[in-house]
Amino acid sequence: MENLEIYSLENISLKQVYEAFMESFSDYEVAMDMPIDRFEEMIITRDIDFSCSVGCFSDGKLVGFILCGYRKIDGKKYCYDGGTGVIPSFRRKGIANDLFIKLVDLLKKDDVDIFLLEVLENNTPAIDLYRKNGFGVQRRLKCFKINKEDVLDSLPDDYAVGYDKANYVNIDEANFQPFMPSWQNQRISILNNIDNYEYCSVSFNEEVIGFGFIHKKRGDIPQLRVLKGWENKNLEQLIVSELKDRTESSVIKLVTLDESISLIKILPDIGFSDFLNLYEMTLSLD
Element (H, E) at 61: strand 61-73
Yes or no: say if 82 and 116 are a contact pair by the CB < 8 Å rule: no
Residue 28 has pLDDT above 80, yes or no: no
Question: How confident is the model over 228-276, as pLDDT tens digits?
Answer: 889 888 899 999 999 999 999 999 999 999 999 999 999 999 999 999 9
Contact 265, 142 (CB under 8 A): no
4 three-state secondary structure: strand
Q: Please state, in angstroms and rounded to a whole number, the distance separating the CA atoms of residues 156 and 160.
A: 7
pLDDT the model gives residue 11: 95
Mean pLDDT of 155-175: 86
Alpha helices in the chain (DSSP H): 14-24, 36-45, 95-109, 124-132, 187-192, 235-244, 263-270
Nearest 5°: the CA angle 4, 6, 10 is: 135
Contact partners, residue 253, CB within 8 Å, separation at least 6: 143, 144, 145, 218, 219, 220, 221
> Residue 29: pLDDT above 70?
no
C-beta of residue 102 within 8 angstroms of C-beta of residue 56: no
Q: What is the pLDDT of residues 184-202, one digit of tens each?
A: 999 999 999 999 999 999 9
pLDDT at 1 over 60: no
Structural domains in the chain, sorted by start: 4-112 (3.40.630.30), 143-277 (3.40.630.30)
**Chain mean pLDDT for the chain:** 93
**What pLDDT score was predicted for residue 126?**
87
DSSP-assigned beta bridge partners for residue 277: 142
